[in-house]
Amino acid sequence: MVFCQLGRANSLREIAGALRSWEGKLKHLGISAPSHSNLAYANEHRPWVLYQQLFLNLFDRCRAQVGSVRLDSEWGRKSFGLRISS
């Protein structure tokens, strides 16, 4: 689901298709792309808080590597930050 969030997928069908397109790389990792129905089941039976915590943990790791260094503004980049709306 993190892969799909980062890929800005909007539907389970889009997610399943994207994962199927990465089938070779997934098999290299020893896993296969889940079907549309498996994704729907997982989405329905796993709490959203699980994905929020996973994202926040990954975000903290990224922020620790980047640190408080501000990226070069002449390239139009901004500092690394997060806004969570409730």
* Total count of domains within the chain: 1
Whether 43 is covered by a domain: the verdict is yes
Whether 35 is covered by a domain: the verdict is yes
Q: Tell me the pLDDT tens digit for each residue of 52-86.
A: 888 889 888 888 887 655 555 554 555 555 555 55
Whether 58 is covered by a domain: the verdict is yes
Whether 47 is covered by a domain: the verdict is yes
Whether 55 is covered by a domain: the verdict is yes
Q: What is the DSSP secondary-structure string of 1-27? A: -HHHHHTT--SHHHHHHHHHHTHHHHH
| CA 44 to the chain's CA centroid | 18
Whether 62 is covered by a domain: the verdict is yes
Whether 76 is covered by a domain: the verdict is no
Enter the tokens of residue 27: 């098999």
Question: In angstroms, rounded to a whole number, what is the distance separating the alpha carbons of residues 59 and 54?
Answer: 9
Whether 73 is covered by a domain: the verdict is no
Q: Collapsing DSSP states into helix, strand and coil, what is residue 56?
A: helix
Q: Containing domain of residue 11, as a range?
A: 2-67
Q: Would the pLDDT of 34 be above 80?
A: yes
